[in-house]
Amino acid sequence: MNTKAESIKSIVREKYSVIALQDKLTNETSCCGVGGCADPAAATGTYNIMSDSYAALPGYNPDADLGLGCGLPTEFAQIRPGDTVLDLGSGAGNDCFVARAEAGDTGKVIGIDFTPAMIQLARQNADKLGFNNVEFRQGDIEELPVGDGSVDVVVSNCVLNLVPDKPKVFAEILRTLRPGGHFSISDVVLVGTLPDQLVASAEMYAGCVSGAIQMDEYLDIIRQAGFENVSIQKQKPILIPDHILLQYLTQDTLNDFKTAKTGLFSVTVFAKKPGVKKYSIAMSGKPKVKIGESPACSAPGCCD
């Protein structure tokens, strides 16, 4: 691993160890949980920068929601009862618990996180909920501690932009998915060029901003990894308040940035591993679907 990549990973581990101990409001009103961004408006909760509300989703547990996401990938992930689901960058367990509500008692959910403090917090939350089919493993998502072809669905929320080697992560996702399996991933992407001051800021990297890459490049990496049916399930602009940007930019640079048609976006991306998914037989003895047959569905790209 090169020195720059090691430095980035060290920054991420350090920042997210602190975030694990912060309250949700602090995380929501900053940049992916990175501190020092709040102002009086943020303190009253009148905006949050990236996160969407999980409150209406089955399985949602407020104790596991640190407000760190930039989308709702689990809502779009087309999880079926009995599926094995893998969550990359699982944090305190929020997406894992929502995924469990979809996968049911016959399914399994595995959360992977780089930060020991997050793993400890997620395990505590799982213990409180009494779940025996949700587990959390500490690991690097560039080298997933998961077997080949062992999962049906991969989800991730605002994490891959923190990873130095994105092609390696998508290669690992492809490796761990069963043939015909798929992912739904929310992430931050860029259209245009960020100011050098933001790109150089370690804090804004950990805050999911300067680690963002061009949207077209992001989608090309997915295709080049070998995925098919690549599509954007949801897209929304991310509007970072001026008072945050002014911690890194001069007023003149900020003005140039805002008129340069540069945009940060949250995107939720779907893609499928080639092959036909072979559905197992549920514990009740009733097949979820005939072996080798794709399930009926109406979501775009679901059964392509």
The distance from CA 148 to its chain's CA centroid, rounded to whole angstroms, is: 21
pTM score > 0.85 for this model? no
Q: Can you read off the two tokens belonging to residue 184?
A: 């739904």
Q: Could you list the residue range(s) of the whole structural domain that residue 239 is in?
A: 3-272
Nearest C-alpha neighbor of 74 from the set 173, 150, 154: 154
Quickly count: other Cβ atoms within 10 Å of residue 175's Cβ: 16
Query: What DSSP state is assigned to residue 91?
Result: T
302 inside domain: no
300 inside domain: no
In order of 90, 182, 274, the CA distances from 179 in angstroms are 23, 9, 6
Q: Which amino acid, one-letter code, is at 157?
A: N
Q: Can you read off the two tokens belonging to residue 169?
A: 């992560």
Nearest C-alpha neighbor of 197 from the set 158, 267, 244: 244
247 inside domain: yes
Q: Which amino acid, one-letter code, is at 171?
A: A
304 inside domain: no
Per-residue model confidence (pLDDT) at position 121: 93
Q: What CATH number is associated with residue 197?
A: 3.40.50.150
Question: Within 13 A of 261's CA, how many CA atoms are on the CB side?
Answer: 0
Burial of 2 (0-12, 13-18, 19+ CB in 10 A): exposed
Per-residue model confidence (pLDDT) at position 287: 40
Q: Can you read off the two tokens belonging to residue 27?
A: 């995380």
291 inside domain: no
- Please tell me the total number of residues recorded for the chain in this structure: 304
Tell me the pLDDT of the chain (304 aa) as tens digits: 567 666 555 655 556 555 555 555 554 444 444 444 444 333 333 235 567 889 899 999 998 888 778 899 999 999 999 999 999 999 999 999 999 999 999 999 999 998 888 999 999 999 999 999 999 999 999 999 999 999 999 999 988 888 888 999 999 999 999 999 999 999 989 888 777 777 666 455 445 565 778 899 999 999 999 999 999 999 988 777 787 778 778 888 888 877 777 788 889 999 999 999 776 544 434 444 433 434 434 344 444 3
Q: Which residue carries 């087309």 as its tokens?
A: 78
268 inside domain: yes
Per-residue model confidence (pLDDT) at position 18: 55
In order of 155, 227, 237, the CA distances from 253 in angstroms are 36, 39, 20
Q: Give the integer Cα–Cα distance in Å for 89 and 68.
A: 11
Count Cβ neighbours within 10 Å for each residue of 27-66 and write b for 16 or more, e otherwise.
Answer: bbbbbbbbeebeeeebeeeeebbbbbebeebebbbeebbb
92 inside domain: yes
The distance from CA 96 to its chain's CA centroid, rounded to whole angstroms, is: 11
111 inside domain: yes
- Count structural domains, the chain: 1
Q: Give the integer Cα–Cα distance in Å for 225 and 110.
A: 22
Quickly count: other Cβ atoms within 10 Å of residue 241's Cβ: 15
